[in-house]
Amino acid sequence: MVSVADSSSGRPLPAMLKRIGLTAALAALCLALFLPGFFTLPPTDRDEARFAQATRQMLESGDFVDIRFQDEARHKKPVGIHWMQSATVALAGGPEQAAIWAYRLPSLAGAVLAVLLTFRIGTTLFGPLSGAPAGERAGQGAGFLAAAMLAGTVLLAVEARTAKTDAALLAAVLGAQAALAEAWLRRNGREAPSTGLVLLFWCSLGVGILLKGPIILLVVGGTALGLALVERRVGWLAPLRPRLGLPVLLLIVAPWLVLITIKTQGAFFAESVGHDMLAKVAGGRESKGFPPGYHTLLFPVTFWPWSLLAIPAIPWVWANRRDPAVLFCLAWAIPTWAVFEAVPTKLFHYVLPAYPALALLTARAALDGFGGGRRWLRVLSILLFLLISAVLAAGTVILYGFFEWTVDRVSLLLAAAVLAVLGYGALLFHRGGLRRSVAVLSAGSVGMYLLAFQVVLPRIEKIWISPRVAAAVAAARPCPGSTLVSVGFTEPSLVFLVGTGTVLSGDGRTAAHRLADDACALALVDLPQDDAFLAEAEAKGFQPIAIETVSGLNYSRGTKPMMTLYRR
């Protein structure tokens, strides 16, 4: 057994045992970073609530082929995440019992797995395939640091606690990239990747396609194409054995594609490819059109806190761009980033598949002392880091005070403690104490996410309208099967919390008609439609009874609804 030396005692330590210990440490770090708010944040609008509600309807109807939000076909994304969510929800007691956190479990698992796979890829790229213990330690150091960085980024912290596709997709991308990295490093040798790695590559592609269509092919294919252009040959890809892998890929993907084609008579592909993907390429969709440079400008925030290290790493990466491991990461990150910068429709999470590559480059540069680096670049990164940290911490506290009209002492003290820890971490980095700085900054990240996702956001009642409406409906429901007609407030989270039968409308007369026909029904009417509702109710010969008024901020639309809950 290959062994490495324990740096603190000099005693030999089995390499496998050390690897298990590092893996366990990363898993523990992930849970510390991802669990704050995981169970307490209400379902968010709109994507998370739509995904979760579509999964609930699969379980309610028993139809695991077609994807629907109420009666509306959801043909924008494939079925993979809904199958994963269905499994976790079934284990959590079924759709009647499971809360939103059960639908988030695939995202949590995907985020943790992505971090562990980053550790694996970093060890592969920056350590020898077999050989000196010192080289193995270097590889494990870069892989471990990169994985810890990825876990702490704002972008993955958000996706890990959101019930949609992106964290799970990232894990699938990294599974394929792990095998591709092995093939790349072995390209001039006789030893080919194992059958297990080959199957990992093709199975990851299949799972990724079921999660988000061709996105995984863009990332993995872009990496392979970039490396093939540099190498001026594609023969090094042959050990991935497409004759074995393509049938496996088709076995994973084809059954659902055939079934959904038959069930929708081809409408799924017309909607997902024609109306969703190609429309995003042609122009900005859903008010998300931004010029190129959007993701780059957001990078210091979305990669926080590790943009502190990433910015000084740029000269080192350029100087070492011909190194095979660095080249692999560049071929991974640059095409992915360029495509999403070029596409007019931009959401901040689109570039997540490139983040492991950027974390790997940053970690390797940091362990090499940034190659001496440029001092002014370090100073700039420290100042930018401190500014972003202050804005995040202070902004979170101010957000609570703005909505609740009070100063929360707990959040104020926690924000001050977090800023002190982060400032100390930046000071350690400035003095050259990389390992201590990373440990302190990781602790500061845990504190920041605890502050934002656990202490502040779940307690701002004014932005969580749907949970308050659901509580009022539950208290006022005249019959066990009462239906709610919501006029003016049509967010998916309301359907998820109140029930699939919830009627969403923009016309107050619709609610009056329903109450006239159904004595068990309830109506939630926003103020602009209140007069129309009451007039139609009078015409129908009944007088609605106002039960409760619910108001707040609809953050999805930027409006402030004032709604009244009525019954017959």
Mean of pLDDT values over 505-524:
96
- Identify the three-state secondary structure at position 159: helix
Give the model's pLDDT for residue 131: 37
Could you tell me the pTM of the whole model?
Answer: 0.94
Give the model's pLDDT for residue 288: 61
DSSP 8-state class, residue 3: E
**What integer best gives the mean pLDDT of the chain?**
92
Domain-by-domain residue ranges, the chain?
A: 3-370, 374-461, 464-567
Q: What gap in Å lies between CA 115 and CA 356, rounded to an integer?
A: 8
Could you tell me the pLDDT band of residue 139, with boundaries at 50, 70 and 90? low
With 90 as the cut, is the pLDDT of residue 476 above it? yes
Comparing 285 with 40, which gets the higher pLDDT?
A: 40
Task: Compute the residue count for the chain.
Answer: 568
Q: Which tens digit of pLDDT belongs to each residue from 423-474?
A: 999 999 999 899 999 999 999 999 999 999 999 999 999 999 999 999 999 9
Share of the chain above pLDDT 70, in %: 93
Which residues lie closer than 8 Å to 317 by C-beta, 6 or more apart? Answer: 326, 330, 361, 365
Mean of pLDDT values over 179-207:
94
Q: What gap in Å lies between CA 140 and CA 136, rounded to an integer?
A: 6
Give the model's pLDDT for residue 7: 42
DSSP for 370-403 reads: GGG--HHHHHHHHHHHHHHHHHHHHHHHHHHHHH
Number of helices (H), then strands (E), belonging to the chain: the values are 24, 9
Name the least confident of 371-380, 386-395, 530-539.
371-380
Q: Which tens digit of pLDDT belongs to each residue from 225-271?
A: 999 999 999 999 999 999 999 999 999 999 999 999 999 988 888 87
Residues 408, 400 contacting (CB under 8 angstroms): yes
Name the least confident of 9-13, 209-213, 326-330, 436-440.
9-13
Angle between helical axes of 166-185 and 355-367 (0-180°, round to 10): 60
Residues 64, 83 contacting (CB under 8 angstroms): yes
Comparing 16 with 283, which gets the higher pLDDT?
A: 16
Name the least confident of 103-112, 271-280, 289-298.
271-280
Please calculate the CA angle 191-197-198 and round it to the nearest 5 degrees: 90
Give the model's pLDDT for residue 279: 60
Mean of pLDDT values over 478-490:
95
Q: Which tens digit of pLDDT belongs to each residue from 142-154?
A: 999 999 999 999 9
Tokens matching residue 195: 């059958």
Hey, what CATH topology would domain 464-567 get?
Answer: D-Maltodextrin-Binding Protein; domain 2 (3.40.190)
Give the model's pLDDT for residue 3: 36
DSSP 8-state class, residue 191: P
Give the model's pLDDT for residue 5: 41
Give the model's pLDDT for residue 15: 75
Comparing 284 with 202, which gets the higher pLDDT?
A: 202
